[in-house]
Structures are given as structure tokens and as C-alpha cells.
């Protein structure tokens, strides 16, 4: 990667950015030509991806400046409509790269399939029986999907959970079986669903209960990804705030999100501002990721911050983010969507663990940018500056008018749609 070609991408036009990625040896010429033509998703492909397809609803696809993750640089593709997301990610990536980058730790990629049983005559006895027949159950699961077993994956363990009846919630007792399944490079929903469906008759016979369902759980607590960064105070100074003040205020802001669920929801939404666009660009299921991540934020019994910011012994700011991240690199839309294949080539990742490292690092970076802005100049100043182009387009500006209106808007004290329309009228009437 030749990073010198990527300086000030935001000042270039779309074709110049594509050419810069080619010059930086990130994007092959063939991909560049396809990008210059526009839409990545052919109509025929779209028509076979979903039912009743009538059009392709597109989001802008951009790239964030290089992230230094585990000693390697990555230009990160992000599919997102929000103007400030890529700018915030790039800003954080620059600072954290100067501080040594992100270090990540990825758990073994173990997914969970559930079988829920009702009307079990003796729950305690059924639990004992299931553990006695554990190997038989795992064997049955693996025989239902031999191809994943041949590649080294498959059902590896079984856990039994007893859920008591809850009169307040009006729920009956459940006996729940968890199959721990290694799906290798796939997110694995189809693999898991096949396996749990296959063992339903076996566990019904063993427990004398009634199997309600067998299904994947998107709460993948056995597939966690962690990113850590360490930033000296010398890199944190902003405006009237010293580096130490910014550090302390970021830590206090994080404690607020740990203590208050109302703040934690917005704090974590900011983290997902970074995660979702990369998950979407890579062709993965962002709905599954969102569901699992927010459940993980409430694992203590109260919804809290996903990230944690603390001070090191030497005064550095340390950021830490751990989330469930069951992404895949094969299967589903990853295999058929040209945009997902393009994202894979841009990132150059070799396996799902590497993709997890990238995504969790972007989430931590996005959180850092948001907190730094919130505790210094405020979030709205930078956000509205980047929102100026959207306001210009909403006002009806076209072509070169968009930049002209946006530039004038940035000089206004009040930046809104009415101001954008007034500026556009002045430009078209020759007053500006």
C-alpha cells in the first residue's frame, strides 16, 4: 500500500479518489473501471437475491483512511448514508495510527444453535440424560452436515440450560439445549439450523419432552472480538482543552454511558455507526450483528456502554471494545454481491477472524471520535459542517451548485434548509 496517494481524499472528486486507490495499489484497474461506471449490483443478480424485487436501493460506498490494526494497514470500505461517519472514522484512524494502532484479540469462532423443549416431565433427570448422551447428540448433528465436519468444523459441545417458569411474565419452564458449532469461514446460519433440526427427534426421545423449535441464536457469546488502543495525551489536545483534559472528559463520558441506559443507547449507536457500514459493505448480516451486540450490552442486567475508556499508569488513554461478531467471508450475499466481493479485495483480509479484527477496530475508532467531539466542541458543529452538502442537495442544488451552497452554508451561524434555499436562490440570481 502506497499511503501517500491517499492524502486528503475528501478534497478529490469521485473519479480522482478511485484513481488514488489504484495508485496506492489497493484497487485493481478492473474494479476501478467498474466503479467509474456506477452501480455495482446487476439487475439479474438483484432479482435472484430477494422476492418481488423491483429495484436496487443503493447506499453510498466510501473508504476510510488507513487503519493500523495488528501492525497492518487497511483502507476500510463503508456503506453508509450519514455524512459524518467516514470522516469521524478517518480522523480517529489517523490519531490512533500515530499512537501505534489497534491491537485485537479474536475468540474461537463458535456459534450457538438452540433446541427449546417444553413439557419435560423431570427437568433435572432430563439434564443428566442429555449429558450422558452428549456424544450421540453431537454425532447426529454432525452427520446432518458432513461437509463442514470434513473441513474441521461442526458441533463440538453441548450445554443444557433450565429456565424456570415466570408467573410475572406468564412464561412456562423451558429446557434449552445449546449446540456449540464451529462454522469456520461462514457465519453459518444454514449450517446451524440444519444441525439443530436434525437432533430435535433425538432429544425429544431422550427427555420425553416436546421440541418447540431448533434455531440459531444471534447472541453469539462464544464469538467475541476485542479491540484495544492506547493514545498518549500529546495526541488528544483539542482547541482550548489540553490533552489531559480531553482524556479525563472522555473517561467521564464513558462512565456516564456505563451508569445511564438512556446515554448508553446513544453511545452504543455511535459505535455501531462504524460497525454497520463495514458489515454491510462486506455482505454480512448487520441485523444479526445489531441484535447480538445490543443484547451483549445488557448482559449485566442493565444496558451499559459496550466500550470502556480508562487511564494508564503513565497517563495514556486506553480504549477497549468487546462485542459478539459472527461475520463470515463465504456464503449468502458475500458470494453473489459484487459490492461485497469488491470490499473483500479492498480490505485484502484472509479469513473471518481478520475481518472481525477490522470491524471491531472501526467501532472503537468511531466511539473515540464521537466522545472526543462531544466533550470538547460538541457534536453538532462538526456534524453540521459535513451535513452542508446534504442540505444543499435537499434545497435543489445541482452539480457545482452543491459545493458552492455548502461552502456558503458553513459560514452561516444558522445552518438549515431555509438557509440553503436562500443561498441557492442568491447564487442563481447572480447575487453570490
Please tell me whether residue 82 adopts helix, strand or coil conformation. Answer: coil
According to DSSP, residue 238 is labeled B
Fold entry, domain 110-217: Alpha-Beta Plaits (3.30.70)
pLDDT, residue 392, reads: 87
CATH of region 64-104+224-375, choose from 3.90.770.10, 3.30.1860.10, 3.90.850.10, 3.20.20.210: 3.90.770.10
Nearby residues of 295 by Cβ (< 8 Å), 6 or more positions away:
219, 324
Fold entry, domain 381-428: Helicase, Ruva Protein; domain 3 (1.10.8)
Model pTM? 0.90
Q: How wide is the angle at C-alpha 207 spanned by C-alphas 203 and 211, nearest 5°?
A: 55
Alpha helices in 378-416 (DSSP H): 379-394, 400-409
CB atoms under 10 Å from CB of 98, counted, come to 13
Question: Taking the chain (432 residues) in consecutive chunks of 10 residues, what is each chunk's mean pLDDT?
Answer: 84 92 93 88 90 92 96 97 93 97 95 98 98 98 96 97 96 98 94 97 97 97 97 95 98 98 98 98 96 98 98 98 96 90 95 98 98 86 68 87 84 81 85 68
Alpha helices in 121-175 (DSSP H): 123-132, 134-143, 146-150
CB atoms under 10 Å from CB of 259, counted, come to 12
Side by side, the strands of the sheet bearing 224-231 are 72-79, 61-69, 102-106, 224-231, 317-324, 307-311
pLDDT, residue 5, reads: 85
Cα separation, 270 vs 275, whole angstroms: 9
> What residues are labeled active site?
82, 269, 285, 383
For the chain, the domains span 64-104+224-375, 110-217, 381-428
pLDDT, residue 386, reads: 64
Cα separation, 186 vs 154, whole angstroms: 12
Q: If we measure between CA atoms, which residue out of 328, 309, 261 comes closest to residue 92?
A: 309
What DSSP line would sit under 328-371, residue for residue?
Answer: -SBSHHHHH-HHHHHHHHHHT--SHHHHHHHHHHHHHHHHHHHH
pLDDT, residue 174, reads: 98
Report how far apart, in Å, the C-alpha atoms of 33 and of each of 13, 48, 77, 281, 396 are.
Answer: 15, 25, 17, 19, 30
pLDDT, residue 432, reads: 67
Which cell is 165 given? 417458569
pLDDT, residue 41, reads: 87
Same fold, 110-217 and 381-428: no
φ/ψ (deg, to 5) at 115: -120, 120
Amino acid at each position: 500500500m502506497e499511503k501517500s496517494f491517499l492524502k486528503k481524499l475528501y478534497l478529490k472528486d469521485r473519479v480522482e479518489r478511485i484513481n488514488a486507490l489504484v495508485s496506492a495499489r489497493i484497487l485493481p484497474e478492473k474494479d476501478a473501471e467498474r466503479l467509474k461506471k456506477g452501480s455495482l449490483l446487476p439487475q439479474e443478480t438483484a432479482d435472484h437475491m430477494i422476492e418481488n424485487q423491483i429495484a436496487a436501493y443503493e447506499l453510498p460506498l466510501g473508504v476510510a483512511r488507513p487503519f493500523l490494526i495488528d501492525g497492518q494497514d487497511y483502507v476500510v470500505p463503508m456503506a453508509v448514508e450519514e455524512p459524518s461517519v467516514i470522516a469521524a472514522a478517518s480522523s480517529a484512524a489517523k490519531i490512533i495510527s500515530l499512537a501505534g494502532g489497534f491491537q485485537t484479540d479474536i475468540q474461537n469462532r463458535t456459534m450457538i444453535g438452540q433446541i427449546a423443549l417444553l413439557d419435560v416431565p423431570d427437568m433435572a433427570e432430563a439434564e443428566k440424560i442429555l449429558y450422558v448422551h452428549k456424544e450421540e447428540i453431537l454425532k447426529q448433528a454432525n452427520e446432518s452436515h458432513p461437509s463442514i465436519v470434513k473441513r474441521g468444523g461442526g458441533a463440538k459441545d453441548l450445554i443444557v440450560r433450565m429456565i424456570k417458569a415466570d408467573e410475572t411474565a406468564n412464561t412456562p419452564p423451558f429446557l434449552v439445549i445449546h449446540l456449540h458449532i464451529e462454522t469456520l469461514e461462514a457465519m453459518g446460519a444454514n449450517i446451524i439450523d440444519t444441525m439443530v433440526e436434525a437432533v430435535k427427534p433425538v432429544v425429544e426421545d431422550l427427555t420425553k419432552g416436546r421440541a418447540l423449535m431448533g434455531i440459531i441464536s444471534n447472541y453469539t457469546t462464544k464469538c467475541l472480538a476485542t479491540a484495544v488502543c492506547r493514545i498518549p495525551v500529546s495526541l488528544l489536545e483539542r482547541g482550548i482543552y489540553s490533552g489531559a483534559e480531553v482524556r479525563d472528559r472522555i473517561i467521564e463520558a464513558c462512565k456516564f454511558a456505563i451508569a445511564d441506559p438512556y446515554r448508553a443507547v446513544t453511545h452504543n449507536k455511535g459505535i455501531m455507526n462504524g460497525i454497520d457500514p463495514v458489515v454491510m459493505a462486506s455482505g454480512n448480516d448487520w441485523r444479526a450483528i445489531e441484535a447480538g451486540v445490543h443484547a451483549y450490552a445488557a448482559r449485566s442486567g442493565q444496558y451499559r456502554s459496550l466500550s470502556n475508556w480508562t487511564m494508564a499508569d503513565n497517563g495514556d488513554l486506553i480504549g477497549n471494545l468487546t462485542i459478539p461478531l459472527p461475520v463470515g467471508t463465504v456464503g449468502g450475499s458475500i458470494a453473489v454481491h459484487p459490492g461485497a466481493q469488491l470490499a473483500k479485495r479492498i480490505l485484502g483480509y484472509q479469513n473471518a477472524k481478520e475481518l472481525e479484527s477490522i470491524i471491531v477496530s472501526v467501532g472503537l475508532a468511531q466511539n473515540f471520535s464521537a466522545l472526543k467531539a462531544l466533550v470538547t466542541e460538541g457534536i453538532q458543529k462538526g456534524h453540521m459542517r459535513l451535513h452542508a452538502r446534504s442540505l444543499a442537495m435537499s434545497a435543489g442544488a445541482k452539480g457545482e451548485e452543491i459545493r458552492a451552497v455548502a461552502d456558503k452554508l458553513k459560514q452561516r451561524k444558522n445552518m438549515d434548509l431555509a438557509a440553503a434555499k436562500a443561498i441557492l436562490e442568491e447564487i442563481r440570481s447572480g447575487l453570490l
